[in-house]
Amino acid sequence: MIRHLVSMRLLLASVLGLAAVAAGVSPAAADPAITVSPTSSYAYDTFVFSGTGFPNGMTLTVTYTDPSGGTGNLADSYGTRTAVKVSSDGTWELRLQPGSALGGTGTGTYQLNFCQSDAPATCWSASLRVSNDVPGMSGGGMGGY
């Protein structure tokens, strides 16, 4: 009986998957997720944000909230908003240095929001922490320089 139920569930899942493909609909992908590496470092280190499970071709705009609660749009030096394009495998990557990209070197936690450009209320978030400590220097700072 249990074997029969498992077989029926596998058959149903296969039929539904084939029906979705025949209808031109991709089977559901994993829920979108964002990771950041490192999660904490100094202001001029490069932080890498990586997204997985996003729909192919989606464009995301990026906003941020700084440690003092101020907000802004991630943009280049000409003021053009940064847009992240999702690749065909549902992934994307964004590299940034908070000291230059986020308008300052304030310490604390920055939250970045990656919002669907054609549905701005649909967003995913990730945070990074900026500290005064420079990796490899004891006591933090610039070691007396």
pLDDT tens digits along 90-99: 999 999 999 8
Residues 110 and 87 in one domain: yes
Q: Is residue 52 assigned to a domain?
A: yes
Residues 79 and 104 in one domain: yes
Q: Is residue 139 assigned to a domain?
A: no
Sign of the four-CA dihedral 40, 44, 46, 51: positive
Residues 87 and 38 in one domain: yes
Instruction: Please tell me the predicted confidence (pLDDT) of residue 71.
Output: 93
Residues 6+ apart with CB under 8 A from 108: 66, 67, 68, 129, 130
In terms of pLDDT, which residue wins out, 138 or 34? 34
Q: Which domain holds residue 86?
A: 33-131
Residues 2 and 50 in one domain: no
Q: How far is the C-alpha of 126 from the C-alpha of 130, rounded, in Å?
A: 14
Residues 18 and 37 in one domain: no
Q: Is residue 54 assigned to a domain?
A: yes
